[in-house]
A and B are shown apart, each in its own frame.
Chain A
Amino acid sequence: MNLQDLYRDVILDHNRQPRNFGPLQPADAHAEGHNPLCGDRLTVWLRLDGDRIADIRFEGQGCAISTASASLMTEAVKGKDKAAVQALYERIHALLTDPHAQADAATLGKLAALGGVSEFPARVKCATLCWHTLNAALEHSADAVSTE
């Protein structure tokens, strides 16, 4: 079990100074995520251009893994369309849960810093909360679009 591997500098930096932090107004969609076990809560706001994420911000309260993961996610998904977000999430999920997954910095960029989480199974949920919340926001937006 390697602490330095979990709390890499990138994680600590994004925890201390989360990027894209604070409400986005006006927003096309938002969703709230909650992890009742540890009390982590966050809200993700989106501005959409078709099915491309034109802008994204988040706000919330959580541990370093949860906050840094959300901050890194907002940087990574800005400008991507839904299919690209989904593909990225699948790679992140593998990185978080499989200690043998290749932290493929070329495709994951700074998100590769989350690679240490796989050694701490109790913390995987902290890192995925933001992704589930983003997913919910994207689905909401689909609902909103389909009812208009």
Chain B
Amino acid sequence: MAANCAETVRQGFDAERVRADFPILARAINGRPLVYLDSAASGQRPLAVLRAVEHYETHCHANVHRGVHALSQAATDAFEGARERTRRFLNARSPREIVFVRGATEGINLVAQSFGRSRLGKGDEILISALEHHANIVPWQMLCEQTGCTLKVAPINRRGEIELDRLLGLLSARTRLVAVAHVSNALGTVVPIERIIQAAHACGALVLIDGAQAVAHAPVDVQALGCDFYAFSGHKLYGPTGIGVLYGREELLAEMPPWQGGGEMIRTVSFERTTYNELPWKFEAGTPNISGAVGLGAAMDYVERLGLDAIAAHEQSLLAAATTALERVPGIEIIGTAAHKAAVLSFTLRGCHPHDLGTILDSQGVAIRTGHHCAMPVMTFFDIPATARASFACYNTAADVAALVAAVRTAGEVFGQ
């Protein structure tokens, strides 16, 4: 996700034109133009996504894989087309490796319950890091309770980077799975997952990457990475909510038992014996989120049309500008100063609780996230209750950064900095 601002300018990434693709950005909030800086929580959707969903709903909807009638075929084509689109997006070998789920959370739970519950037991270890989202902590804690395996946590340093030496030191023959974020949602840290995957594999451990905060900010190639599982949510990639993806290497998915039972995931059912469907449907019990998958496919088309490298470069220039400008505001402390960061800027303002900061910014039309960002251990590590977090996306501009900084200065004035 390295970026070169000059390059962006040369390529002419036109954020103003991009904004026009997102109807919601024309809204006013509290009498002011909306400045949306909360895309790490959920991105907004471009017209291309809204239209793809509308087209599916108005022309193609029926249940998938079930009927001989024309609409069922159209829906199945749309849904499986989105799977093939996702395969290309991640450069997976086969669409059998693409399981549609509700989001990153469900993808991680699937691996914990299917792979973890059938394979892990006492003496086995799962290794995560101290910067994980609760979605990449709690499923493993539940698995440990269920199977007796042990959770190990690699620490982070004051910049918010995983201490790689310590993580490597925690790897051993007992480590069965390493589960780490690609990008930290609370701090913006880009995790050197290539190194971690290599080292984990050398110890015989599998690797799950929580890519929820990564896929909108850089191209991801699961074959080049060599990870075993990769999970993300559609709604952080300018797609709909309620749809997400779990990539899993085919050999692994083939060996894993189903985790939910029902329709769609079976081949034959009798009261004596049920046989399961092939990949990936074995893991997709029940009627899936068809229009969500269609919208997600359209979102992938959209970001690839803009160019993920160009988006990343644009966001990096905003991140750099916002960091520099905020650092000049008296009382500001940036939380998360990793050498390599994605489009997330967490900060605190002395004397002003993040909750108050969020309210003051909202009154100026500036939407940011305040709180623990579902990463309470990160807050504990920095000994703070919460942070304010601005996050950047393809549609943000220098004017958004200026509005953020001005609103933070207003907060500083209200609280007498």
Chain A interface (Cβ within 8 Å of chain B)? 1, 3, 6-7, 12, 16, 37-41, 61-67, 120, 122-123, 126
Subset of 26 A-B contacts with CB under 8 Å = A1-B363, A3-B359, A3-B363, A3-B414, A7-B356, A7-B360, A7-B415, A12-B414, A16-B351, A16-B416, A38-B355, A39-B372, A39-B385, A41-B385, A62-B355, A62-B385, A63-B354, A63-B356, A64-B352, A64-B353, A65-B355, A66-B353, A67-B353, A122-B359, A123-B359, A126-B355
Instruction: With a 10 A CB-CB cut-off, give which of B359, B362, B372, B415 has the most chain A CB atoms.
Output: B359
Write the nearest CB–CB distance from A59 to chain B, whole angstroms.
14
| Number of residues from B at the complex interface, CB < 8 A | 20
Write the nearest CB–CB distance from B31 to chain A, whole angstroms.
8
A63 close to B416 (CB less than 8 A): no
Chain B 401-417, CB-CB to A under 8 Å as 1, else 0, gives 00000000000001110
Contacts of B362 in A (CB 8 A): 1
* Complex: chain B residue closest to A123, CB-CB: B359
Contacts of B1 in A (CB 8 A): none
Contacts of A61 in B (CB 8 A): 385
A39 close to B352 (CB less than 8 A): no
* Complex: chain A residue closest to B385, CB-CB: A39
Q: Given known contacts A6-B359, A63-B353, A64-B352, is B414 in contact with A38 (CB within 8 Å)?
A: no
Contacts of A120 in B (CB 8 A): 359
Q: How many A-B residue pairs have CB under 8 A?
A: 53
- Whether, in the assembled complex, B81 has its beta carbon less than 8 Å from a beta carbon of chain A, the answer is no
Contacts of B414 in A (CB 8 A): 3, 7, 12
* Complex: chain B residue closest to A6, CB-CB: B359
A126–B386 alpha-carbon span in the complex (Å): 14
- Whether, in the assembled complex, B15 has its beta carbon less than 8 Å from a beta carbon of chain A, the answer is no
Write the nearest CB–CB distance from A53 to chain B, whole angstroms.
27
For the complex with contacts A3-B360, A16-B351, A62-B385, 6 further pairs of A-B residues with Cβ separation under 8 Å are A6-B359, A7-B414, A62-B353, A67-B353, A123-B359, A126-B355
Q: Given known contacts A3-B363, A38-B371, A39-B372, is B379 in contact with A64 (CB within 8 Å)?
A: no
- Whether, in the assembled complex, B30 has its beta carbon less than 8 Å from a beta carbon of chain A, the answer is yes
Write the nearest CB–CB distance from B368 to chain A, whole angstroms.
13
* Complex: chain A residue closest to B372, CB-CB: A39
A-B pairs with the 8 shortest C-beta distances?
Answer: A63-B353, A39-B385, A63-B355, A64-B356, A1-B30, A63-B356, A3-B363, A39-B386
Chain B interface (Cβ within 8 Å of chain A)? 30, 351-356, 359-360, 362-363, 370-372, 379, 385-386, 414-416
A12 close to B372 (CB less than 8 A): no
Contacts of A41 in B (CB 8 A): 385
A65 close to B356 (CB less than 8 A): yes
* Complex: chain B residue closest to A120, CB-CB: B359
A19–B359 alpha-carbon span in the complex (Å): 24
Contacts of A37 in B (CB 8 A): 371
A16–B415 alpha-carbon span in the complex (Å): 9
A39 close to B30 (CB less than 8 A): no
A135–B379 alpha-carbon span in the complex (Å): 29
Contacts of A126 in B (CB 8 A): 355
A64–B370 alpha-carbon span in the complex (Å): 14
A126–B415 alpha-carbon span in the complex (Å): 17
A1–B28 alpha-carbon span in the complex (Å): 13
Instruction: With a 10 A CB-CB cut-off, give which of B353, B354, B371, B379 has the most chain A CB atoms.
Output: B353
A16–B417 alpha-carbon span in the complex (Å): 12
Write the nearest CB–CB distance from B150 to chain A, whole angstroms.
27
Contacts of B386 in A (CB 8 A): 38-39
Contacts of A65 in B (CB 8 A): 355-356
Write the nearest CB–CB distance from B137 to chain A, whole angstroms.
15
A61–B30 alpha-carbon span in the complex (Å): 29
A28–B379 alpha-carbon span in the complex (Å): 33
A65–B415 alpha-carbon span in the complex (Å): 12
Write the nearest CB–CB distance from A11 to chain B, whole angstroms.
10
Contacts of B363 in A (CB 8 A): 1, 3
* Complex: chain B residue closest to A126, CB-CB: B355
B351 close to A40 (CB less than 8 A): no
* Complex: chain A residue closest to B386, CB-CB: A39
Contacts of A1 in B (CB 8 A): 30, 362-363
Contacts of B370 in A (CB 8 A): 38
The one of A12, A40, A64 that contacts B385, using a Cβ cutoff of 8 Å = A40
Write the nearest CB–CB distance from A140 to chain B, whole angstroms.
25
Write the nearest CB–CB distance from A133 to chain B, whole angstroms.
16
A41–B371 alpha-carbon span in the complex (Å): 13
Write the nearest CB–CB distance from A4 to chain B, whole angstroms.
9
* Complex: chain A residue closest to B384, CB-CB: A39
* Complex: chain B residue closest to A41, CB-CB: B385
The one of A39, A62, A64 that contacts B415, using a Cβ cutoff of 8 Å = A64
A81–B417 alpha-carbon span in the complex (Å): 40
Contacts of B360 in A (CB 8 A): 3, 7
* Complex: chain A residue closest to B30, CB-CB: A1
A63–B314 alpha-carbon span in the complex (Å): 34
* Complex: chain A residue closest to B357, CB-CB: A63
A38–B385 alpha-carbon span in the complex (Å): 8
Write the nearest CB–CB distance from A47 to chain B, whole angstroms.
28
